[in-house]
Amino acid sequence: MTQVLIVSDDLDFSEELTEGLRNKGFEIHQESSMRPALEKSRSVDAVILDLTLSEIDGFEACQALRATSRVPVIVMGLQDDEFDQILSFKLGADDYIVRPCSMRKLAARIQAMHRRARNSWELWEYWGLQAERDSEVHEFGPVRIDMDRRMVLRGEREVTLTRKEFDVLALLATNPGRVCTREQIMSEVWGHDGSGDTRTLGVHMTGLRKKLGLPTLIETVRGIGFRLAAHRISEGEAA
């Protein structure tokens, strides 16, 4: 049974989530303060973090969770604010949902995140035992994407990406020159088609371009999606 930790000091909100998710088949744990939440996060499959915590700033809580655990984190905020979403993703959140939300939608997102996280961890464990095997590496101009070790290099410098940023880049890299639709990316990386969510993917693309330092590597195909276009990297960018 998938175990979910709800971190919130809003009793009504926490109880509402607990009842709804238990009805969907999840095992629920609740914590209202960060110290026990950080300890508990190491033994659950996903964390739902209420951004309106009174004990600690919600963004600091998100950062603390990511620093101590690789568990998938869903941040829940009171408003559809682009700044809050961007900051949450930068601090390591895997998803951002505005409350109140459909329990069906929340359950689907938790299941998708847990499934992808489990597959990712199994892959890391496998490659830890099979390190002698050659890695699958994709090269685009000065960027090297090591799929098996989940590592990205620009020249000799490692580029630090979040889990979702790497997953998006890896999907584009395995479809070189081809357009990946927004719906395809959202479905394969987030586990849902992004209906009603117009910002999450854009935030991650902006972050990727900035971290890679190659604005023209990821090309936007207006109204459709994105593709890697290494041939468009200028000499100045590649240097």
User: What confidence tens digit (pLDDT) does each residue in 174-230 have?
Assistant: 887 788 888 889 888 888 766 667 688 888 899 899 999 888 888 888 888 898 876
Confidence (pLDDT) at 123:
41
DSSP code, position 189: I
The label of the residue with tokens 């009171």 reads 78
Domain chopping of the chain, boundaries: 3-124, 137-238
Per-residue pLDDT reduced to its tens digit, 32-44: 988 889 888 888 9
Per-residue pLDDT reduced to its tens digit, 131-186: 434 457 888 888 889 888 888 998 888 998 888 899 999 999 888 778 888 888 98
Please list, residue by residue across 213-239, b when 16 or more beta carbons sit within 10 angstroms of its beta carbon and e when fewer do: ebeebbbeeeeebbbbbbeebeeeeee
Question: Domain 3-124 is in which class?
Answer: alpha beta
Please tell me the distance from the alpha carbon of residue 102 to that of residue 110, in angstroms, as a whole number: 12
Contacts of 15 (CB under 8 A, 6+ apart): none
CATH architecture entry for 137-238: Orthogonal Bundle (1.10)
- Global pTM? 0.57
Confidence (pLDDT) at 237:
57
